[in-house]
Structure formats: C-alpha cells, structure tokens
Amino acid sequence: MTTAATARDIDTAADLREALRRAIANGEYAPGVKLVERELTLRYGVGRTGVREALRYLAAEGILELNENRGARVKSLSYSDALDMYQVREELEGLAGQLFAVRGTPEEKIEFAQSLEPVREAMHDGDVTRTLVLSDIYYGHLLRGARNPELHRLIELLHVRINQVRRVSVSMAERAESTLDGLQRIVNAVLVGDPVEARAACIAHVRASAAATLPVLAAWEQPQEPNTSTPSETARPQSS
C-alpha cells in the first residue's frame, strides 16, 4: 500500500515531486487547497528553493495553479476537466484491458484478480482514501500486464487528475456494488484471455463512473440564486 512520505524518504527534487503527487492523488491535499511553502519544508525536510522548484514542476503538469500573490493551490476540479479526463480514460484503460488479456502471464492475471479483494473490503468499510490507494494497486497490475510502456507513461502523467475524479465517484456509497461489479467484469475478461470483452469491460466501467460523477460536478458549478430581498423585506414578519 502507498503510504505518506516523510522527510527521511525525500533525498532529491524528484522524490519531493513524487511525494506531493502521491499526497494530492490520495486526497491529503484536496482540489482548491493552498500549499504553504513553510509547511512543506517542515514536513518533507526540504529547503524553500527545492519546494518552489517542485511546485513549479507540478504546475507545469497541470496539477497545481501558481499565483504570484496567492502562492500555489491544487487545481480545482471542474466539470469540463472531468469530462475530458473520462474521454481519455475510456480510450487508455480500454486499450490496457485489451492488451493485458493477451499479453499478461498467468501469474500476473492471478495477482490482478487477487488485488480486487482488498478494494472490495475498503469500499465496504467506506474508507475512500484506502479505496483509492488500493485501486492504484489494482490498476498498476492492469498497466504492467498490458506491457506497453508508452501507455503506462501516459496514464501515469494523468494519475493525479484521474484520482481526483475517481474520489468523487468512490465517495458515492450507493455506487459501491456496481463499481465492484464493473471491476470484477474486467478481472473475469482478463482471466479468460478475451481482449474484446476486456476492452469493453474497461470502457463500460469508465462510462458508468462518468454517468454518476459528471452530473454531480455540473451541479457544483450551478450559480446560486441571488437573494433579491432587501434586509427589511427579509426581516419582515409574515401577516397571519
């Protein structure tokens, strides 16, 4: 399981970037949260120059937003961002499932199947962060079994943003069983070596997540109805 990095784990600038990516992906720093340089230097034992370099790097990757006066914030998750992400995920994960079904070894497929059970337990416990961490392991097996380094690299670049979207979906307790059914369908297709079904199962899983998540994100962006009443009108008691 992926755990939070400590100062002892940080030796290079690359270590710090990866630690911050992992913390954001796991929800320790939620979308919109400000990253305070002083707090990061204390947590990771890195000087401010190293912290600033890492923040600029993650901003270039689209994970953070930098503002000269306000510092660094985790990029907010918009409906448009999520829609784009789902469209990309559908293609990439569909290909990963297809390739794994034909390229994966029997041992890799068994490990993949076994990695679903901890996800199931975490979902049933309602532990969103643990579910995301264990889902990373599940998808890690899927990508390694696909044996396509370029595909793996592309998904890794999108990992943080994918997890931010995934957190919204995983947080919906009512979706737990349908989500697990979708993940199980992928496992079954990979185990029997059916590339067409594996691709279809991956795509169906992403589409089901999108159907549940995108309306929620769209609702979050709806403008609030302004209160047009004057203070006196608001305070005025109703006549009986």
Q: What is the pLDDT of residues 208-217, one digit of tens each?
A: 999 999 999 9
Closest listed residue to residue 198, CA positions, set 88, 121, 113: 113
> In this predicted structure, which of 10-14, 38-42, 60-64, 127-131 has the lowest mean pLDDT?
10-14
With 0-12 / 13-18 / 19 or more C-beta atoms within 10 angstroms meaning exposed / middle / buried, residue 223 is: exposed
Task: Note the pLDDT tens digit of each residue in 42-74.
Answer: 999 888 899 999 999 999 999 999 987 778 999
Q: Is the pLDDT of residue 128 over 80?
A: yes
Calpha distance 185→27 (Å, rounded): 27
Quick one: pLDDT at residue 11? 65
- Report pLDDT for 235: 38
What pLDDT does 225 receive? 56
**Structural domain 79-218, CATH architecture:** Up-down Bundle (1.20)
Residue 220: the pLDDT is 86
Greater confidence, 167 or 13?
A: 167
112 within 8 A of 142, measured Cβ to Cβ: yes
Tell me the average pLDDT of the chain. Answer: 88
Residue 47: closest CA among 37, 33, 56, 60: 37
Work out the percent of the chain whose per-residue pLDDT is above 70. 88
Instruction: Give CA–CA dist 92/202, Å, rounded.
Output: 9
pLDDT of residue 146: 98
Q: Where are the domains of the chain?
A: 10-74, 79-218
Per the CB < 8 A criterion, the answer to whether 76 and 31 are in contact is yes
State the fold for domain 10-74.
Arc Repressor Mutant, subunit A (1.10.10)
The reply to whether 79-218 shares the fold of 10-74 is no
| Cβ pair 188, 194 in contact under 8 A | no
Task: Tell me the average pLDDT across 92-104.
Answer: 98
